[in-house]
Structure 1
Amino acid sequence: MYSVSTADYLQADSFSQLGERAILMDQSKSCQCELLAVKKAVRMKKVCVSRELQKRAEQIYATDIEYVYSERFEHAVASDDILHPLQKLCADLNPDSDYELSEFDFQQAQLYTVPLLEKEQEVILFRGMNYLKFRAETLKSQIDLKSPCIGLLDRIEQKLKDARRLRNYIIQANLRLVVSIAKNLTDRANLFEDLVSDGHLPLIRAVEIFDVERGNRFSTYGTWAVRNFLFRTTKKGRKYRKTFLNGAETLALGMSDSRSTQRSHEAYHQTIDDVLQKVLQTLDAREQLILKRRFGLAKSDTPEKFREIAEDLGVSTERVRQLTIRSLQRMREAIEEQKLEIPDIPEII
């Protein structure tokens, strides 16, 4: 059975106690409050389990729990390594009020009530969110639909609820991301409030599928998700997609502009180079040559003008420019298709 302490935490259900509640519930054993009565009733051939309880068990059992798996979830000390840091962080954050998606008003100052997350905080929250879902999925496999245990169902539901609250906190901490992108795409046909509302959807999805174990910041992944979605739905965005303002050029410029700090950021450059080589392979030889010369991607090269490249290839300057745009677009599509992630350049340099 649950202890009095566990019941108190279930009743309080505060964000600041989320981590401590998760630890306590992870250590609890399945409740046996219903099992003896159920078994006795079965022997007596009586319907002992209420239809409501059975329906609840069936709904939980049928729930598709999506999470980003990590091998560390399987470790014997996973609970200590993941939930104890979460306990401390939740107590430190302790927001004044919990964030509810349905009640969110994009025009209000509460956009900024949750501070930006530091990298370490981000890792703890994402890891905790996915671990709670993982544990809920594990417990779900223990449900006996013929004689469901109320205590077990409570534990699963509480873990999913806490995971959802962690997700919502992360979303609120990153809403500035949506606002910054939406401001640049506002026009007569696309009001700022509408764009922020539209950008909210890909942000939620990005939080749900982001793999923090890869070592990247969520701002990088979230920016791509929101920007790509809004670029497809707005006139200004479609215009940007046809010009140099895309991820592929950012990648190329990142290579050339960051070269001055290569020695102090070797890991960063290696990551960029690995991604670049993968997407360059999707282009033909001439397209690769143009991009390498245009952005000075070879280690000893400096960026060249369209005119210089055109003279050597024997084509017009405009043709080189068109090939560059087309190649960058193909690189961008390759990045999306292969789900490659690029480190946040401003943060590293």
Structure 2
Amino acid sequence: MDAMPEFNRESGFAGESGAVKIQERLQKRHQARAEDAERRKEAKESKSVAEEQGEYFCSSFYTERASIEELLSGCSGADRAAVALLLEEVTARTLQLQKFLNDSTLFLTQYELRKAQDALQKLQSSLAEAREEALPRKKFAFRARAKATDKAPAADAPPPDAGAPADSGGAKVDGAAESVQCSFSNMDSVCLTKTAEEIQKRDVLLTHLTNCKVRLFGSPSTLHLKHIDSCEILCGPVSSSVFIDHCRNSTLAIPCQQLRTHHTTDTKVYLHVTSRAIIEDCRGVSFAPFSWSYPTLEEDYAVSGLDQGRNNWSQVDDFNWLAAGTHSPNWSVIPEVSIHIADQFIYAAAVC
């Protein structure tokens, strides 16, 4: 029998080489379909895993938060020694809850992340209020200057130091008492410094500062910045969260676990953050890696517990910008050339 001929227009048959080519095309098509099915399967499994992780996080996070709140409620009516022990345990567990949240940010939705951060912030505020109520720090205030008609002070009484900043646990912000242990407020065009010994893992509040240079050495527990205008603020590693509200025309250098920024404009942030930074109602905010250095920085990192090898300074979530795949116009990355110039400036600005 003669060999089968090549493909012929009239007969419509293909030769052996044509059959091989058809078989190859069928195999490639089958392989492509199999790969597509595998990708769909992996995507479905990945989505399922993320949903399971989210469900596990929510269950674990809110169960632990409720447990901490119950423990915190035990402070009411207890003696001072018992309250001190309870607050110590609550503080440790709250920090662990903060770390759990930071480690879970990669698979949480923006809604889940925002809800959990709000819940954690309320818990931290409750802890600060309970500490202030049960173990209040001594209030320190400067006596007002005596009026001309008042009786003159005794000869051996030291004059009030009117130039020193108020630093108390009862600072007020917008008419509301803030439970903080270190603070500078209502200052204009001055240089302000807190040493590591003064901070000692306390909550720090800076509010209503204009044209000020602030240097915070050591490791604060939390840092609150409110109503900051045209300031330079350099801070050592913050062991938990930094909250910024109504800041403009300023330069900030901060390492922390979590950063939440509200109502802030035209501000540069040199950042080390181990979770993802969050901005809301902001514009003109720019970010670069944290670059401040001072002699005890490594020791302060150790005290704070921050992971120096993990910095998500450019991973910013804008809660006012929900267009997927499109960069928010409200924040930007500081150009590399500007970063080098700023590095030199910040290094020179280690002290006022």
TM-score by length of 1: 0.25
TM value normalised by structure 2: 0.25
The structure whose residues are more often strand, as a share, is 2
If asked which structure has higher relative contact order (CA below 8 Å, sep 6+), I would say: 1
